[in-house]
Structure 1
Amino acid sequence: MTAALDAASVVVPAIGGPAPDFELSNQFGEPVRLSAFRGQNVVLVFYPFAFSGICTGELCEIRDNLAMFEDAKATVLAISVDSKFSLRAYAAQEGYSFDLLADFWPHGGVASAYGVFDADSGMAKRGTFIIDAAGHVRYSVVNPRGQARDLQEYRTALAGLGEA
């Protein structure tokens, strides 16, 4: 099967459908399971690589506006294919207080489950999924390569959680 056929078969979880459960290690090696957050909202932020320019800008914007997520009773989980060791150094350098999850092995397994793994480049695409307290996908966006996400879109999507 060619890469073009594989890309065409990629499926992003449907809005309103269940979010695929997973367990990954955070930057400290602690296991983090999505289903453990039932009863609260979760923002999954897939990003290509730690220490890269656009990714750092996006995650610093989240860091600097974390109160917006907390006000919506939302936990931010940022996910990349980097190792927990890289993520620990990255979080320390940038002052991230939210979990950075290592989708390191199987390489990109969780990103694949969410339809945002780019097998040709070996990295996650810039995908965001907002999961409600019941574990359903309420919002998703996948940005083109090289295009940062808009913080205002998070604000709008989080405000919509109260309308369910």
Structure 2
Amino acid sequence: MTLSVGDTAPDFTLNDSDRQPFTLSEHRGSPVLVVFYPFAFSGICTGELCQLRDELGTYTDAGVRVVAVSCDPAPALKAWKTEQGFDFPLLSDFWPHGEVAKAYGAFFETAGMANRGTFLVDAEGKVAFAEVNGPGDARAQSGWKDAVAALAS
């Protein structure tokens, strides 16, 4: 079941592309945008995350930390991050496979990958925005931006 606005965001610790741990609860006091995506190096995912990279200031200027999560292993994420110049953490939900995506209701069980789930977690750890699209459905990021603007006001 997908999380809804007002739900407490499940805490998690995942390693980033440099195998450094990122724990959601350690960022309480600041909002965090958690962006799940199916696979590194795939077309739609590259387009979405490059747009996020190019518009990162929209989020960081509002005090929002951005992290992107897939079920890819850390070495693949490191190569993709380097290739694309992403300036936000890419987190690996590789093992136990997809457990964080499952906790957020953003796991596509049949294919063993994350769906396109986006969750804005507010400073208190509550979900302020939630959206889950299927793997082939690119997201419009305007909803995320509107939710960030609402938190900032």
Instruction: Give the Cα separation in 1 of the matches to 2:135 and 2:115.
Output: 7
Residue by residue, what CA displacement relative to the aligned partner does 1:65-89 show, whole Å, maximum 9, x if unpaired?
Answer: 0000012211111000000000000
Q: Compare CA radii of gyration and give the structure with the larger one.
A: 1
Q: What CA distance in whole angstroms lies between the structure 1 residues aligned with 2:135 and 2:77?
A: 21
Separation in structure 2 between the aligned mates of residue 45 and residue 105 of structure 1, nearest angstrom: 18
Give the letter aligned to residue 34 of structure 1: L
The CA distance in 2 between the partners of 1:17 and 1:114, in whole Å, is 10
Matched, 1:21 2:1: no
Structure 1: distance between partners of 2:2 and 2:74: 25
Determine whether 1:116 maps to 2:100: no
AA aligned to 2:139 is R
Which residue does 1:140 correspond to in 2?
A: 130
The counterpart of 1:61, out of the listed 51, 76, 101, is: 51
Instruction: Report % sequence identity.
Output: 48
| C-alpha displacement of 1:144 | 2.8
The 10-residue stretch of structure 1 (143-152 or 85-94) with the greater mean CA deviation from structure 2 = 143-152
Runs of 4+ in 1 over 2 A off after TM superposition: none
In structure 1, the gaps of 5 or more residues are 1-10
Number of equivalences: 153
SS at match of 1:63: helix
2:45 is the alignment partner of 1:52: no
Paired letter, 1:159: A
TM-score normalised to structure 2 length? 0.97
Amino acid at match of 2:151: L
Q: In the alignment, which residue of structure 2 is the partner of 1:78?
A: 68
Q: Tell me by how many angstroms 1:113 deviates.
A: 0.3
Name the stretch that deviates more: 31-40 or 154-163.
154-163
* Structure-2 separation of matches of 1:129 and 1:145: 16
* RMSD of aligned alpha carbons: 0.9
SS of 2:14 mapped into structure 1? strand
Distance 1:144 1:79 in 2: 15
SS of equivalent residue, structure 1 residue 120: helix
Distance 1:55 1:125 in 2: 11
Q: Paired residue for 2:140, among 121, 132, 150?
A: 150
* The one of 8, 21, 30 aligned to 1:31: 21
State the AA in 2 paired with 1:81: C
Quick one: distance in 1 between partners of 2:101 and 2:135?
A: 15
